[in-house]
């Protein structure tokens, strides 16, 4: 089945709402100048929460084809959860994708597989597409246990999802040792785990569901290495951190062919 590639830029805790409007306009202008086909390759920006309103206003007002993503959401929809952000609010702001289980949240905020699974369900309750991040530490990779580790994260995060829901999840395989380190996985490393994720989904659901799921690679993706990663049969896009802060570089990544 033909899967529409997705390139998503995770700005992390960079770029305030004023800088965001400049970045988004430059990105849109650069992509249009290069005649980017937004239907053939989706482009998503994932700013900090405080930038979402400004970016959404630009996307709506100027009819930009960029898709809006958020970096996290609460497992709850409302209540006494100071500092958390509800999926209800994100959906109202025009957010389409939401990162769930990024390693910086799993590690820095003790997010367990159970919390990640609850966030995936919160995304579905609010018509948001979960962009589920999975990936192993250097220790796990050195022990050769990356596939078993990622398989366990997949099983936990998809728990209780119907096949119809599962088919719409976007999974990002992000080896932790490659995030923000300049250390990129080889195309074969990326294919090994992305292929294993699809095989696990076929086992949990069926071939058609597994074939529908988009699996991205993330970890020090740049314009110079994206083409060889995107050439892998089970890689359907990229989740880009640092390089997404430069609109010209990010636009080049979006045009990986």
Residues that bind ligand PEP (CB under 6 A): 10, 12, 174, 179-180, 218-221, 239-243
**Could you tell me the smallest distance in angstroms from the CB atom of residue 184 to ligand PEP?**
8
The tokens for 255 are: 């045009």
For residues 26 and 222, which CB has a smaller minimum distance to ligand PEP in the complex?
A: 222
Beta bridge partners of 8: 44, 239
**Could you tell me the smallest distance in angstroms from the CB atom of residue 219 to ligand PEP?**
5
For residues 179 and 229, which CB has a smaller minimum distance to ligand PEP in the complex?
A: 179
- Residues in CB range of 44: below 8 A, 6 or more apart: 6, 7, 8, 9, 66, 67, 68, 69, 96, 97
11 assigned binding-site residue: yes
Cα separation, 194 vs 150, whole angstroms: 10
Kindly provide the b/e burial profile for residues 129-163, where b requires at least 16 CB atoms within 10 angstroms of the residue's own CB.
bbbbbbbbbeebbeeeebbebbbebbebbbeebee
For residues 179 and 213, which CB has a smaller minimum distance to ligand PEP in the complex?
A: 179
**Could you tell me the smallest distance in angstroms from the CB atom of residue 203 to ligand PEP?**
26
Q: State which residue has the least CB distance to ligand PEP.
A: 241
Q: What is the dihedral of CA 223, 136, 67, 234, to 10 degrees?
A: 70
Q: For helices 187-204 and 146-157, give the axis angle rounded to 10 degrees.
A: 40
Active-site residue 159, yes or no?
no
Which residue of the set 36, 42, 102, 104 is catalytic? 102
Active-site residue 174, yes or no?
yes
DSSP state of 184: P
Which residue of the set 42, 104, 111, 174 is catalytic? 174
Alpha carbon of residue 21 to chain centroid: 21
**Could you tell me the smallest distance in angstroms from the CB atom of residue 129 to ligand PEP?**
16
For residues 177 and 205, which CB has a smaller minimum distance to ligand PEP in the complex?
A: 177
For residues 88 and 179, which CB has a smaller minimum distance to ligand PEP in the complex?
A: 179
Task: Please give the biggest Cα pair distance in the chain.
Answer: 51
241 assigned binding-site residue: yes
Cα separation, 164 vs 158, whole angstroms: 12
DSSP H/E element including 46: strand 42-46
The tokens for 184 are: 């990129």
Kindly provide the b/e burial profile for residues 35-58, where b requires at least 16 CB atoms within 10 angstroms of the residue's own CB.
ebeeeebbbbbbbbbebbebbbeb
29 assigned binding-site residue: no
**Could you tell me the smallest distance in angstroms from the CB atom of residue 170 to ligand PEP?**
13
Binding residues: 10-12, 180, 220, 241-242
Binding residues for substrate: 10-12, 180, 220, 241-242
The residues that are catalytic are 102, 174
């Amino acid at each position: 089945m033909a899967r529409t590639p997705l390139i998503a830029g995770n700005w992390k805790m960079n770029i305030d709402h004023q800088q965001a409007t400049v970045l988004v306009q430059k990105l849109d202008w650069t992509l249009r100048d290069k005649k980017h086909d937004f239907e053939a390759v989706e482009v998503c920006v994932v700013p900090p929460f405080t930038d979402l309103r400004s970016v959404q206003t630009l996307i709506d007002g100027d009819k930009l084809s960029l898709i809006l993503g958020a970096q996290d959401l609460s497992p709850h929809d409302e209540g006494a959860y100071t500092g958390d952000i509800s999926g209800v609010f994100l959906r109202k702001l025009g957010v389409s994708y939401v990162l769930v289980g990024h390693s910086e949240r799993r590690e820095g905020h003790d997010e367990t597989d159970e919390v990640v699974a609850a966030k995936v369900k919160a995304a579905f309750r609010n018509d948001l597409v979960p962009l589920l991040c999975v990936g192993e530490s250097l220790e796990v990779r050195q022990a050769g246990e990356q596939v078993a580790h990622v398989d366990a994260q997949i099983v936990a995060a998809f728990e209780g999802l119907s096949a119809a829901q599962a088919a719409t999840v976007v999974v990002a395989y992000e080896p932790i040792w490659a995030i923000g380190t300049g250390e990129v996985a080889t195309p074969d490393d990326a294919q090994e785990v992305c292929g294993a994720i699809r095989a696990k989904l076929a086992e949990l659901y069926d071939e058609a569901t597994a074939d529908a799921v988009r699996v991205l690679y993330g970890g020090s993706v740049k314009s110079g290495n994206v083409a060889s990663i995107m050439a892998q049969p089970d890689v359907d896009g990229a989740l880009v951190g640092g390089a997404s802060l430069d609109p010209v570089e990010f636009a080049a990544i979006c045009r990986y062919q």
